[in-house]
Structure 1
């Protein structure tokens, strides 16, 4: 038992506290009202860039919470159309469409593009993305729980699982990505390359080509990537090649 406690402290508690310390030492907006939500200028102008496009985005959340978690969303653009952004949030309508600029900052934090597809590749997958968005089972008012989920990352993770052709998962600091209702303990990818065990998002384990090896506790992740060597630390995310 002592070794288990020591493992949890060293692999989960210490990195999380270190990330909180780094965050606290930095400068952050005082409130959502003072935060910058404007476009980060990452996407081409839709009026000029005509081909279809598809993006999965993530950005650090506000306040100290941002030391441990990111917010994620999905952006689609059919050929000759404008961008459509899908988020799940804790206020208003749970699944929001175009509530913010497609590549907007989140609480003043510049987002990261996790994946982008263009042209025929995007055109082929956009209908599947839209179908997965419509099929999300926690899309009503009141269906948002900041932790362990279902939250914004639970929503995007649902879409990614249902469109495996994207071939990605959310980063380890996407708290809530591993949420499953109790009773839904085991998730096996269609290609059998990724296995997830989840206790309602409170604890779990994942192994496979997308995850490497992940131990999950309280929404935090400690683990290793093998195919592309790296380590995953609570708060800091993935560090490696």
Structure 2
């Protein structure tokens, strides 16, 4: 009976993934980011979505998006572990008009949204902090540095963001004051 209970728990955890294959998992926009075609103000947003597969039961993946005044796209910054396995930096940057895409099947939540004059003032500080991120080429699931260490570090460098990551942002405590 005990073996059956353990097997049931393991099966439940492994089936907790939104989709079993990352290649076919949704990467559609969630529709929660201001549309850069109609939003002229500066925008800074931080998103969190359940990590892929069974890890999503315990942890989230986080990323930062910035859009300067009148920009037609966001610049998205995130740390991704499999890039390191491929010989690339963990920290990646890309441009998109949909920074709120699902994280491989998991709908993101908005953790932080700063708009207008405050965002315009903070974007240079945020991008300068990102350029100084000390673990851009490193990734370790636990205890870090990982995808949650990155925005936590940026938040420490730019305290005016008042960034508070969710409890499940495992690795956000990797850095210290």
Regarding TM over 0.5, the answer is yes
The answer for the alignment partner of 1:75 in structure 2 is: 65
Q: Please report the TM-score for the alignment, with normalisation by the length of structure 2.
A: 0.84
Classify the secondary structure of the residue corresponding to 2:81: coil
The answer for the alignment partner of 2:116 in structure 1 is: 119
Q: Please report the TM-score for the alignment, with normalisation by the length of structure 1.
A: 0.62
Query: Residue 139 of structure 2: which of 130, 141, 144 is its match?
Result: 144
The answer for the alignment partner of 1:91 in structure 2 is: 82
Q: Which has the higher strand share?
A: 1
| Count of aligned positions | 162
The answer for the alignment partner of 2:103 in structure 1 is: 106
Residues 20 and 105 of structure 1, relative CA distance in 2, 3 Å threshold: farther
Deviations 1:163-195 (A, max 9, x none): 111123211100100113xxxxx62xxxxxxxx
Structure with higher RCO (Cα < 8 A, 6+ apart): 2
Deviations 1:107-141 (A, max 9, x none): 2111011111111010011111001101110112x
Structure 1 runs of 4+ aligned residues shifted over 4 Å read 19-27
Q: 2:74, 2:95 within 8 Å by CA — same for their partners in 1?
A: no
Say if 2:124 is the partner of 1:134.
no
Pairwise CA distance, 1:25:
6.2
Q: What stretches of structure 1 of length at least 5 have no aligned partner?
A: 1-18, 181-185, 188-241
Q: 2:27, 2:101 within 8 Å by CA — same for their partners in 1?
A: yes
For 1:25 and 1:39, locate their aligned partners in 2 and report how far apart those are by CA, in whole Å.
24
For 2:38 and 2:26, locate their aligned partners in 1 and report how far apart those are by CA, in whole Å.
25
Classify the secondary structure of the residue corresponding to 2:113: strand
The answer for the alignment partner of 1:63 in structure 2 is: 53
Pairwise CA distance, 1:49:
1.1
RMSD: 2.1
For 1:87 and 1:94, locate their aligned partners in 2 and report how far apart those are by CA, in whole Å.
8
Q: 1:88, 1:95 within 8 Å by CA — same for their partners in 2?
A: yes
The answer for the alignment partner of 2:25 in structure 1 is: 35
